Amino acid sequence: MVSPIVIVIALLFIALSFNIPFARFKIPPIIGYIFTGIVISNLFHLDKHTIEIIAELGIVFLMFMIGLEFSPEKLKSMKKEVFGFGFAEMTIVGSLFGLVFWLIYGVDIRIAFILGSAIALSSTAIVLKLLNESREISKPYGRIALGILLFQDIAVIPILIAISIIVNKDANLVQLILKTLGGFIALGIFIYVYGKYIAPFIISHATKTKSDEIFMATVLLVVLTAAEIAHLFGLSYSLGAFLAGMILSETKYKYQIEADLIPFRDLLLGIFFVSVGLMVNVHFVIQNILTILLMSITFMMFKAGIIYFMLKKFVKHNRVAIKTAFILSQIGEFSFVIFALLGKYNLVDSVLLQQLVVVVVISMILTPFIIRYIYKIADLFDKDTQPFEEYEIQAADVKGHIILIGYDKIGKRIARKLTKAGVPYVAIDKQIELVKEGLKNGDNVIFGNAANKRVLESLNVEDAAAVIITTLNEEHTHLITENIRNINPNINIIILSDDETQKVYYDNDSNIYVIDKSKELAEKLIKLALRCELQYEREHHS
């Protein structure tokens, strides 16, 4: 038997062998991970069930992160996208593909519509990950795609119920429906109480330890607990994680949670994409290559066409319908669960099922390229580009503001003076007690570790006028400064120091000002920051 360490070494080596060359051609890592799974499955005999469980955690963390971006108020404003477009997509696409399986493939009509519903599902893991990375999720087509994907997550439950009714003819339909509705209501109540009171209480105590490891462990506990509770109520893990994230999006811990979870989420999503590759039987693909390719292209184009014509009548701009249709044209990861159940009870021919599994994988491989070139694809069908396409549906970000890193005694004085001067600013500190004090004082303070690049990005460093750093930890200051300059190399940075070596360290940098704490305090910092702000205004209004 091959050692687990050997398998991990092989997995990492193969993944890097694909992804390093792929990176030169800007091919997304998702493709490399899927190919890694294909190669690994033909080299080793693996426990696929264990890998699938780990892979599902990747989707759980992805949905939690998406939830952090969507407050309950924002979700209320998306009723049309979730329950209108989502319901219509599942019903129309599922029914038309159901007819295809019944009339062309000769599948039993009940099973045909279940297969059609599986094809109607799109990939939450791929679409939302790529839209998040490209910052397109807040654009009109990204918003519609998110709404449809959320409804699809809910729609998986009745599909699984339908299979259990067909398999178990004695099952009570009314009882199953009532049980599912009860699960939804119970989960909603639990998540509200959990996200509003229990989770913030636990996280607040974790932050008091001032330990990054304890904070991270607490966040993992919060996410996994929400997912497991949803599962206990008969719903999907990812739905519970999404709702928990949505409730926590209104807390002061949002940015730090986001920053800490992203590397963990991406690692688990990588395992998910490897697990997708594990499902491909290379010998079967070679023997049926033409049929599989024809099915893949036909299914994706047919699905995109249906979604486009469904949306065309309801969205103002044709290009939004085109882009939404193409980015949802692939078949999603939950279809694997449905195919596995149908195969387990011998409800569908095994050859057709294996063909469908490979079609899903191919559609997933094509999706990153579709999303990357979505504007060019839209140009092929509609040349009428409009300024609205660049508009993001979200609260306007502050620009020309001052970022204050450290809400200590000097930080508080600076915040008060900036408020009096009417200068927009945001302060950040990783000591929760100081953040709570700042919020009580009415200051704009958030909780987070400014040494984390993703936290800095959330503060919109790219469009800030200046950054003031009051932390006196030299190593911490160097790391913060380095990360800021990576995001915005031209920004003015003002550093408070109690060490002459800091001045020497930054001597050659004209955009960094080091102020001696023992000689000058908040007034000098403010003057410099305001000068930077005036400079920013001249540059951006001239």
Question: Could you tell me if residue 488 is inside a domain?
Answer: yes
Q: Both 359 and 381 in a single domain?
A: yes
Q: Give how far the C-alpha of residue 359 lies from the chain's centroid of Cα atoms, to the nearest Å.
A: 24
Name the pLDDT band for 503 (thresholds 50, 70, 90): low
**Could you tell me if 509 and 384 lie in one domain?**
no
Lowest-pLDDT range, 40-54, 127-141, 409-423, 452-466?
40-54
**Alpha-carbon distance values, 357 to 36, 158, 336 (Å):** 17, 21, 7
Expressed as residue numbers, the domain containing 505 is 402-541
Same domain as 92, residue 29: no
Judge whether 169 lies within some domain: yes
Q: Which of 360, 390, 420 is the last residue of a domain?
A: 390
Please give the DSSP secondary-structure letter assigned to residue 183: H
* 493 three-class SS: strand
Share of the chain above pLDDT 90, in %: 24
Number of domains in the chain: 3
Examine the domain organization and report whether 83 and 134 are in the same domain. Answer: yes
Residue with the larger pLDDT of the pair 62 and 83: 83
C-alpha distances out from residue 398 to 268, 338, 463, Å:
33, 46, 8
Structure tokens at 378: 């839209």
Closest CA to 253 of 439, 396, 401, 392: 439
Kindly state the average pLDDT of the residues 210-234: 86
The pLDDT of residue 497 is 76
- pLDDT over threshold 60, residue 538: no
- Quick one: residue 210, left, alpha or beta (phi over 0 = left, psi -120 to 50 = alpha)? left
| CA torsion through residues 26, 29, 31, 35, sign | positive
Mark which of 361, 390, 419 sits at the end of a domain.
Answer: 390
pLDDT reported for residue 392:
36
* 433 and 364 fall within a common domain: no
Strand ranges of the sheet holding 402-405, from the earlier edge strand across to the other edge: 445-447, 425-429, 402-405, 466-469, 492-497, 512-516
CA distance 290 to 286: 9
Evaluate if residue 24 carries a pLDDT over 70.
yes
| Lowest-pLDDT choice from 248-252, 383-387, 388-392 | 388-392
pLDDT of residue 387: 41
The domain boundary, picked from 328, 358, 390, lies at 390
Distance, CA of 183 to CA of 412 (rounded, Å) = 47
Angstrom CA distances, 273 to 15, 55, 86, 112, 265, stand at 11, 8, 25, 27, 12
Sign of the Cα torsion 33, 34, 35, 37 reads positive
CB 537 within 8 A of CB 424: no
User: Smallest Cα–Cα separation from 279: which of 388, 358, 174?
Assistant: 358
Tokens describing residue 10: 């092989």
Flag whether pLDDT at 52 surpasses 60.
yes
Mean pLDDT, to the nearest integer, of 60-78? 74
> Above 60 in pLDDT, residue 431?
yes
373 and 496 assigned to the same domain: no
In angstroms, the CA 194 to CA 191 distance is 5
Digit-coded pLDDT (tens) for 312-338: 988 878 999 999 999 999 998 888 888
**Model confidence pLDDT, tens digit, residues 284-315:** 999 999 999 999 999 999 999 999 999 998 88
Contact 338, 159 (CB under 8 A): yes
Within a domain: 217: no
| pTM for the structure as a whole | 0.65
pLDDT for position 116: 96
Confidence of residue 91 (pLDDT cuts 50, 70, 90): very high
- My answer on whether 275 and 130 are in the same domain is yes
268, pLDDT greater than 50:
yes
**Average pLDDT of span 93-109:** 95
CB 277 within 8 A of CB 40: yes
Tell how strand 425-429 and strand 402-405 pair up.
Answer: parallel
CB of 387 closer than 8 Å to CB of 375: no
Closest listed residue to residue 426, CA positions, set 387, 489, 468: 468
Pairing of strands 492-497, 402-405: unpaired
Among the listed ranges 216-225, 317-326, 396-405, which one has the minimum average pLDDT value?
Answer: 396-405
In total, the chain counts a number of residues equal to: 542
Q: Are residues 410 and 280 in the same domain?
A: no
Structure-model confidence comparison of residues 520 and 244, the more confident one: 244
Q: Determine, yes or no, domain membership for 211.
A: no
Mean predicted lDDT score pLDDT of the chain: 82
Q: Are 510 and 466 within one domain?
A: yes
What is the pLDDT at residue 144? 93
| CB-based contact 512:481 (threshold 8 Å) | yes
* 68-72, 84-88, 418-422, 493-497, range with greatest mean pLDDT: 84-88
Whether 24 is covered by a domain: the verdict is yes
Residue 410 has pLDDT above 60, yes or no: yes
Give the CATH number, domain containing residue 302: 1.20.1530.20
Question: Quick one: 36 and 106 in the same domain?
Answer: no
In a domain? residue 258: yes
Distance CA 510, CA 446 (A): 29
Q: Is the pLDDT of residue 536 over 70?
A: no
517 neighbors 496 (Cβ within 8 angstroms): yes
Cα–Cα dist 149/128, whole Å: 9
Q: What is the pLDDT of residues 121-162, one digit of tens each?
A: 999 888 988 887 777 887 889 889 989 998 998 788 788 778
Specify the higher pLDDT residue, 395 or 246.
246
Q: According to the model, what pLDDT value does residue 388 have?
A: 42
CATH of the domain at 439: 3.40.50.720
Asked if the structure places residue 207 within a domain, the reply is no
452 Cβ neighbours under 8 A, 6+ residues apart: 256, 259, 260, 483
Give yes or no for residue 49 having a pLDDT over 90.
no
pLDDT at position 187 is 82
Closest-CA residue to 410 (of 396, 429, 397): 429
Cα gap 393→244, rounded to integer Å: 22
The reply to whether 212 falls in a domain is no
What integer is the mean pLDDT of 75-91? 88
Q: Are residues 366 and 474 in the same domain?
A: no
Q: Name the band, by pLDDT with cuts 50, 70 and 90, for residue 97.
A: very high
- Return the pLDDT at 526: 62
Q: Are 219 and 195 in contact (CB under 8 A)?
A: no
When pLDDT is cut at 50, 70 and 90, the band that residue 499 belongs to is: low
Specify which residues 428 forms β-bridges with: 405, 446
- Residue corresponding to tokens 């963990």: 264
97 in the same domain as 32: no
pLDDT (tens digit, 9 = 90+) per residue, 164-214? 778 776 666 677 777 778 888 888 888 888 888 888 888 888 888 878 888
CA distances from 15 to 57, 357, 472 (A): 20, 22, 41
Which residue carries 């249709």 as its tokens?
Answer: 325
CA nearest to 120, candidates 294, 327, 331, 299:
331
Name the residue type at position 425.
Answer: Y
